[in-house]
Amino acid sequence: MDGLNRQDVEYRISNGLVNNKNVKHSRSIKTIVLSNTITLFNIINVVLFILVLTTGQFVNATFLGVIIINTLISIYQEIKAKKIIDGLTIANSDKVTVVREGKKEQINTWDIVIDDILCLTVGDDICVDAVIVKGNNCEVDESVITGESDAITKKVGDKLISGTVITSGEVYAKVISINEDTYASNLVKEAATIKENTSYLKKSINSILKVVTVLIVPTAVLLFISQYFYNKNSYSEAILGAVAGVNGMIPEGLMLLTSIALTVGVIKMAKKKVIIQKLNGIELLACVDVLCLDKTGTITDGTMEVVDVLKLNEKYDVNKIVGNMLDKDINATDKALSKYFNKNSDYEVIKRVPFSSARKYSAVSFKEGDYGLGALEYLTDKKIEDYPELVKYTNKGYRILTLTKGKLEVNKIVDSKVIAFIIIKDNVRKNAKETLEYFKSQDVSLKIISGDNPLTVSNIVKYLDFDGYDKYISGKDLPEDYDKLKSIVNEYMIFGRVTPEQKKMIVKALKEDKTVGMIGDGVNDILALKESDCGIALANGVSAARNVAEVVLTDADFGILPDIVNEGRRVVNNIERVSSMYLIKTIYSFILSILSIILAHEYPFYPVQLSLIGAFCVGIPSFFLALEPNYTKVKKGFIVKVFRNALPAGLCVFMNIFFIIMISNIFKVDFDSLRFVVVGATGYLNLYLLYKICSPLTLIRKILLVACSISFVLSMILFREFLLLSIPSVWGIILMILLILADNYLVWLFTLIYDFIVKLFGGKK
C-alpha cells in the first residue's frame, strides 16, 4: 500500500506507460487553422477566384480578399479563445488521488502510470482500468457499459472499468490498463461521449447552408451554359456572370459572424471563470425555458451545521452512536456531523453500508446493534409530517436526518425504529434570492429537484419569497409510468426525495416541449445533467458531473448564471437579427441566376459590384450589430423570423432587375448603361433592411446607418470606373428614384403576404 516510488514513476513515464496519450484540452492550433481554412465555401471561392483570373478581369477578384480577412479573423478569435480556455481548464482539470511512497497526493489524470495505487471516493470518475486492493462496500455506476442504472457492489479483487463512476464508499485500486488498453475502450469511448447538442440556431443555419450548397454547382454550370452558348456572351462575360451569381449565393459572412459572436461570448465567460466546454453551450442556455437545479450547492452554498438533536429514546447514546457511524468526511453533511459529534471507534464495526443517493441512507452494523442514518421516508414507513415536534424546523427549511435502530440485511436495514432526529441547517447563498428573481422576470420556469425532503426545500424557497414554494411532491409519490409523469411535471416546482433515475426522468419529461437546463454537482445529478439540453456543473462538485456538462462554473457561484444567460441571448438575438442581411443576397442571387438562365440574359451584376454591396450594406454594419447588448428572451422560429425580413427585400431586388431588363429589351437600351441603376436600387433595399433591423434607432445605430449609406453612395460615385459602372443618364436617375419609391410599398405588401402564409401554415422552425 506504499505505492510506487519516484524511480518507479519515472521508469514508467520514460517507457510510455503513462495515461496521457489522448490528452487534449482543446483543438490544436494546426487543427484550428485547417478547419477555418479548408471549408467547402472557401474551396468554392478559390475556384471562383481562379476562374476570374482566366478572364484577366482582376478587379472582379476582390471578393477573395474579403474571404481571406474573414478567415484570418476567425482563426485569430478561436486561437485567442483556446489560450484563455486552456489556461482555465488546466487550472480546474480533474485530479485523482494516488498513493506514492506511502503518502497520498493529487495528480492530474494524465499523469497516472501503470501500477499506481488510486484512492477513489464518491463521485470519482474511473478513467483507467484498475483492480480493488483495499476497501469494501464500494458501489459503482456501470450504466455507461451495461446500460443498467443500478449501482454494482464491488469488493477486493474486483475490477473497476474506465468510464464508470464511484457512487458510494471508498477503495484503493491498482491501475492495470491505460489509454487504448482499457477494457472495451472503444465501446466506453462511444458510450461515454457527452451528447452532441446541436442547438436550434445552428440547426437552422446549417439547414439553410445545406440547401445553398446543393444549389451552387448546378446553378453555376447552367448559368455559364446559358450565357456562353445561348446568349453568345464572350468567355470572360459568361465566367464573370456565373461567378457573380454563385458568389452572391454564398452567405460566408453569416458563418464568420456566428463563429465570432459565439467565440467572443466564450472569451467573456472565461474571464468570469466560466468554462464553456462546448461552443453552443452558451447559446443553449440562452434558449432555456426551464431551469432545473438541486438545492444543495446552488440555492444553498453547500456548507452545513448541526443546530439541534431531538432524542426520542433516552436509553440510546446518540452522540456515541453517530460518532461511531462516521467514517470519511466525503460531503458537506459528513463534515457537519463530524464537527458536532466526536468521531470515534468505541464500537466494533461488523459491516458498513455507505450512503448512496439512490438508497438515501447509510447503515452500520455494530456488535451493539444495527443503525441507519438518513432520510426518514426511506428508513421507515413514516413521514416528517407525522412528527409535530419537527414542524418548527421544517418551517425554517432545515434538513432532518433520522437515526434509527433496526436490522441490517445484505445492504438494506429493516424493522427500523426512530431513536433521534438530527437537525441540520443548510446555509442559503447571499445572492440566491436575486438570482431566482432574475429567472422569474425572464419567464424561465424553475424546478428544484432535490434528494432532501420536499417540505424542507419548500420552506427554504418560501424564505426566499419565491412563488410556487407550495407546489411540491415527494419522489415516492411520483408515478412510475412515464406518460403519467409527463402529465404532472409542469404542475410542481419542487421535487423532493428523488433518486438519480427519477431526476433523469423528470428532466426527460420536461424536455418533451421545452428546452431544459440542469444545474448539478453530485453523483445523483449525473444522469439528469446528461439528459438535459444544457448541463451546468459546479467546479467544486464531483468530476463525473463536470465531465458531462456543457458549462462549468469554476467559482461554483450560482449567481453568475444571469450573466451567462444574458451573454447567450446577446449572441443568439444578434445573429438572428443580422442573418437576414446576408440571406437577402443569397435569395436574390439565386432567383436572378434562374432568371438569367431562363431568359439567356447576362447576369445583372459583376462580382466587384456585389462586393461593394456586401461590404457597406451588410458586412460592416452586421459586425457592429452582432456585438451589441440584446438580452431579450430567445424565442423559437429562427428561419421564419429571418426570412420575414430577407424574403420580401430579396423579391423586391428581383422585381427591380426584372423590370430593368424588360425596359432594356423593349426600348433597346444597352443593359450596361443601366447597371448603375441596378446597383443603386439593390444597395438601397439592403440599406432599407438595415434600417428595419436597427429599429428602434439609438444614436449609435443612427451613426452606423448614416455612415454606411454615405459610404455606399460615395463609393458608387468616386470609384465608378473601378466598379465597372457607366455614368447614369437623367432617365436612369429618374428610373432609380421611382423604383426606390415603389420598393417601400412592395416590401410592406410582400411582408403582409408572408405573414399571412406563415399564419396559415404555422411557422415554428
What values do phi and psi take at 125, rounded to 5? -75, 140
Closest CA to 584 of 561, 562, 608, 610: 610
- Residue with grid cell 524511480, as numbered in its chain: 7
* Degrees to nearest 5, angle at CA 184 with 182 and 188: 95
Q: For the chain, what's the residue count? A: 765
The CA distance from 138 to 171, in Å, is: 7
Task: Report yes or no: 332 and 296 within 8 Å, Cβ to Cβ.
Answer: yes
Q: Cα-Cα-Cα-Cα dihedral of 648, 653, 659, 663, to 10°?
A: 170
Helix/strand/coil for 91: helix
Q: What is the DSSP string of 181-228?
A: GSTTHHHHHHHHSPP----HHHHHHHHHHHHHHHHHHHHHHHHHHIII
> Percentage helix, strand, coil, to 5, in the chain?
55, 20, 30
Torsion from C-alpha of 478, 483, 488, 489, nearest 10 degrees: 80
Identify whether the C-beta of residue 161 lies closer than 8 Å to the C-beta of residue 154: no
Q: Strand 445-449 relative to strand 274-276: parallel, antiparallel, unpaired? A: unpaired
Tell me the residue type at 307.
V
Amino acid (1-letter code) at residue 739: L
Closest CA to 529 of 517, 540, 538, 539: 517
For 542, phi then psi, to 5°, come to -75, 150
- Active-site pick, 116, 125, 294, 426: 294
- SS3 of residue 308 by DSSP: strand
CA angle 213, 214, 217 (to 5 degrees): 85
List the one residue out of 35, 518, 469 whose CA is nearest residue 290. 518
How far, in Å, CA of 298 to CA of 450, rounded?
Answer: 11
Grid cell for residue 531: 439528459
CA–CA separation, 402 vs 381, rounded Å? 12
Q: Which amino acid is at 605?
A: F
C-alpha separations of 452 from 157, 398, 495 in Å? 35, 10, 9
Query: If you search the block for the grid coordinates 433592411, which residue do you land on?
Result: 689
Return left, alpha or beta for 160; rule: phi > 0 is left, psi -120 to 50 is alpha, else beta.
Answer: beta
H helix or E strand, kind and range, residue 418:
strand 412-428
Phi/psi class of residue 67: alpha, beta or left (left: φ > 0; alpha: ψ in -120 to 50)? alpha
294 catalytic residue (yes or no): yes
Other C-beta atoms lying within 10 Å of the C-beta of residue 672: 12
Please work out, in degrees rounded to the nearest 5, the angle formed at the alpha carbon of residue 463 by the alpha carbons of 461 and 464: 65
User: Is there a cis peptide before residue 629, judged by omega within 30 degrees of 0?
Assistant: no
Strand pairing category for 171-177 and 117-120: antiparallel
Strand arrangement of the beta sheet that strand 159-160 belongs to: 103-108, 95-100, 117-120, 171-177, 129-134, 159-160
Dist CA 408 CA 310 (whole Å): 24
Report the distance separating Cα 17 and Cα 170, nearest Å: 26
Supply 700's cell numbers.
449609435
Backbone angles phi and psi of 452, in degrees to 5: -80, 170
Prior bond to 354 cis, omega within 30?
A: no
Q: Which residues are catalytic?
A: 294
